[in-house]
Structure 1
Amino acid sequence: MNKVRFLMIGVGGMGQAHIRNILEIEDAEIVGLVDPSEQSIERARSLSHVLQDVPSFSTIEDAFEAVQADAAVIVTPHSQHFEQGMACLQKGLHVLMEKPFVAGSENARKIIKEAEAVGRHLVVSYQRHLQGPYIYLRNLIQSGELGEIRFITAYQAQNWLESQRGTWRQNKSLSCGGQLNDSGSHLIDVVLWLTGMTPEAVLANIDNRGTEVDIDSALTIRFVGGAMGTINVVGSATVNWWEDVSIHGTKGSALYRNGKILVSKGLNGPVERVSEQDLPPSSNPDADFVDLVLGRIASPAAPAECGYQVARFTEAAWQSAETNQFVSFTV
Structure 2
Amino acid sequence: MAAVRVLLVGAGGMGRAHLRNLLALRDVEIAGIVDPSSAAIATTKHISGAVESTPEFSSLKAALEAVQADAAVIVTPHAEHFEQGQMCLQRGLHVLMEKPFVAGSVNARALIEMAQQAGRHLAVSYQRRLQGPYVYLKTLIESGELGEIRYATAYQAQSWLESQRGTWRQNRELSCGGQLNDSGSHLVDVMLWLIGRQPKSVFAHTDNRGTEVDIDSALTIRFEHDVICTLNVVGSASIQWWEDVAIHGSKGTALYRNGELLVAKGVHSELRPVAAEDLPVTTNPDENFIDLILGRISAPAATAESGYQVARLTEAAWESSEQQRWIAF
Q: How does 1:1-331 map to 2 (within 5 A)?
A: 1-329=1-329
**Residues 207-216 or 218-227, more deviating:** 218-227
CA distance in 2, matches of 1:299, 1:123: 9
Amino acid at match of 2:299: S
Q: Percent identity?
A: 65
Amino acid at match of 2:277: Q
How far off its partner does 1:234 sit? 0.2
Using the size of structure 1 for normalisation, the TM-score is: 0.99
Contact 1:34 1:59 in 2 (8 A): yes
Deviations along 1:105-129, one digit per CA (max 9) or x if unpaired, are 0000000000000000000000001
Using the size of structure 2 for normalisation, the TM-score is: 0.99
How far off its partner does 1:266 sit? 1.2
Amino acid at match of 1:56: E
1:225 partner SS: helix
2:226 partner SS: coil
How far off its partner does 1:272 sit? 0.4
1:203 partner SS: strand
Amino acid at match of 1:27: D
1:134 partner SS: helix
How far off its partner does 1:197 sit? 1.3
How far off its partner does 1:264 sit? 0.7
2:225 partner SS: coil
CA distance in 1, matches of 2:139, 2:50: 39
How far off its partner does 1:207 sit? 0.2
Deviations along 1:180-232, one digit per CA (max 9) or x if unpaired, are 00000000001000111111000001000000000000000111111101000
Amino acid at match of 1:113: E
CA distance in 1, matches of 2:301, 2:205: 31
CA distance in 2, matches of 1:131, 1:260: 12
Amino acid at match of 1:303: T
1:141 partner SS: helix
Amino acid at match of 2:118: V
In the alignment of these two chains, the number of paired residues is 329
How far off its partner does 1:267 sit? 1.2
Deviations along 1:58-103, one digit per CA (max 9) or x if unpaired, are 1111001110000000000000000000110010000000000000
Contact 1:129 1:135 in 2 (8 A): yes
CA distance in 2, matches of 1:20, 1:252: 39
1:96 partner SS: strand
CA distance in 1, matches of 2:181, 2:227: 24
Amino acid at match of 1:79: A
How far off its partner does 1:2 sit? 2.0
Amino acid at match of 1:237: A
- Structure 2 residue runs of 5 or longer lacking an equivalent are none
Contact 1:2 1:294 in 2 (8 A): no
Contact 1:103 1:176 in 2 (8 A): yes
CA distance in 2, matches of 1:282, 1:214: 31
Deviations along 1:38-76, one digit per CA (max 9) or x if unpaired, are 110000110011111111001111001110000000000
Contact 1:160 1:237 in 2 (8 A): yes
How far off its partner does 1:24 sit? 0.4
2:68 partner SS: coil
Amino acid at match of 1:69: A
How far off its partner does 1:175 sit? 0.1
CA distance in 1, matches of 2:293, 2:267: 46
CA distance in 2, matches of 1:267, 1:66: 62
CA distance in 1, matches of 2:65, 2:42: 22
CA distance in 1, matches of 2:36, 2:153: 40
- Structure 1 residue runs of 5 or longer lacking an equivalent are none
Contact 1:31 1:67 in 2 (8 A): yes
How far off its partner does 1:171 sit? 0.1
Contact 1:4 1:70 in 2 (8 A): yes
